[in-house]
Amino acid sequence: MKQAKQEAFSDDKLKRKDTALHFKNILLNTDLNVFSLTAPWGGGKTYFINNLIKMLEKDSINVLYNAWESDFYDSPLIPLLVELLNKLEICNKKSKLEEDIIWSKKFAEKICKSTTLKAGLNAGIANCSLNFDSNKKMMDSEYIELKNQIQKFKDKLKLIQKKLNKKIIIFIDELDRCHPMYTIKTLEVIKHFFGISNIIFVLAVDKKQIENSVRTIYGINKGQENGYLRKFIDVEFQLPNTDYNDFIKFHINKIWHKIEIFIENSRYYNYCMHQLIDQFGYLRGMDIGKEQDYLANLILQISSLLNFSIRDIEKYFMRFSLILDELTSKDILFIEPCIILNALSMHNLEEFNNYIYSNQSEQIKEINKTILSHWKGLLFKAYKEELDNFYNHNYPNNEPLRNNALKIEHILNNFISKHANEQEKYLQEYPLKIKFINNFQTFD
């Protein structure tokens, strides 16, 4: 049974549909050729252009080219032409393009055999492997022939676009992940072989990475790369920053069924909402909405503090889900330490290891500018300290801390022998469950 196509931005957790609608209108009405769609690494560029293509489906001919998947080619011209001609062959079913496509394919074959595009000041902008024959008239030289063929190719594409009566929009993704030389070559190919009215390029890039590529190849100083990029890019569009709150709530909902198992079996402990645990260590009525809001806010604060990108947050929840899978029916879900230490292990593994292997809780106070110094009260060593103080009667005049320690003791007593040393050992070894997840690496 054929599945129905998913509507564009149907899962728009970043609220970018309105932005896409405006961008769509610009693309369909512009007379410019090259746009850059910029956002930091992991900023949601791929999601945005994939859904923008869905949105444009009936209004334009759209080609998606993943540059990073193709940078094993010496020249980006080959995969670019293949992607474009493949799309035109599909369009040929409704338009009389067969002869034009055949000519374009022959041109592609010839140009790819005779030309090697290179970039860099030493190599020159275009280094053609064409023979120079002094016995020929210059009008008959291979260079002139190639130049004429490129112009004929442009004219042919212009004719195809008119027959289709739609703009052709070529989206280039992951260009900023390519080798710097391949990145520059791609910009050069767009300049030399395209530049055709109603054929538009949209480059989804991290501007900083593109600037780094320019500096690497041309050896120019920081700040000078914009002059180079202006030769190729007509308009730069910055993808607006987004509110991560809804995005985080979406991911909490996705894994909530795993958290709920611990709640239903009274194996869930929340330090800041410890009043939910009665004197016997069992959960009283919980407002799930408030609990999810609290966890979302905690993760949002951490993400902001550590400058997590959208992709970082996705990785974070992937790892957090693995942590929940690792806990057994004999374990308690100490929710805040799991959230905080998972983030710390992603952000700074050295500090995470220092936390696990150091027996000196004072070390937490010495670590600055990390989540440890922000949420010391929500970590396992703080739990241990509170239990120690509780057992040693060091909280006679501090009712909130004494009550909190009492709640920790009650919930531990439900699953662990009441011997304090066993409870202490459990709390001490608990972070190793989170450390285990560090052995699973996620890649882009």
Q: What is the pLDDT of residue 139?
A: 58
What is the C-alpha to C-alpha distance for residues 163 and 160, in angstroms, rounded to an integer? 5
pLDDT of residue 258: 94
- Tokens at 70, concatenated: 């193709």
Q: What is the mean pLDDT of each run of 10 residues along the chain (444 residues)?
A: 69 83 93 88 84 93 89 79 86 77 82 53 41 56 74 88 92 88 86 86 87 80 74 86 82 92 85 59 66 91 88 90 87 91 86 73 50 81 79 72 75 72 80 73 50
Which CATH fold topology does 17-238 show?
Rossmann fold (3.40.50)
Parse the chain into domains and list their residue ranges: 17-238, 244-439
Cβ neighbors of 207 (< 8 A, separation 6 or more) are 36, 38, 236
DSSP β-bridge partners for residue 268: 333
CA quadruple 206, 207, 212, 217: dihedral sign: positive
Cα radius of gyration (the chain):
30
SS3 content of the chain, % helix, strand, coil (to 5): 60, 10, 30
Q: Going by DSSP bridges, is the β-strand pair 115-116/127-128 parallel, antiparallel, or unpaired?
A: antiparallel
Check residue 122 and give its pLDDT.
37
24 near 52, Cβ under 8 Å?
yes
Helices 335-347 & 310-326 angle (0-180, nearest 10): 130
pLDDT at 119: 38
Question: Which pTM value belongs to this model?
Answer: 0.66
Closest CA to 168 of 60, 93, 87: 60
> Considering only CA atoms, which of 316, 312, 52, 55 is closest in space to residue 204?
52
For residue 95, what pLDDT is reported?
A: 67
- How far apart CA 404 and CA 402 sit, in angstroms, is 5
Amino acid in the structure at residue 206: D
Question: Which pLDDT score, from 0 to 100, does residue 335 have?
Answer: 92
- CA 16, 200, 36, 81 dihedral sign is positive
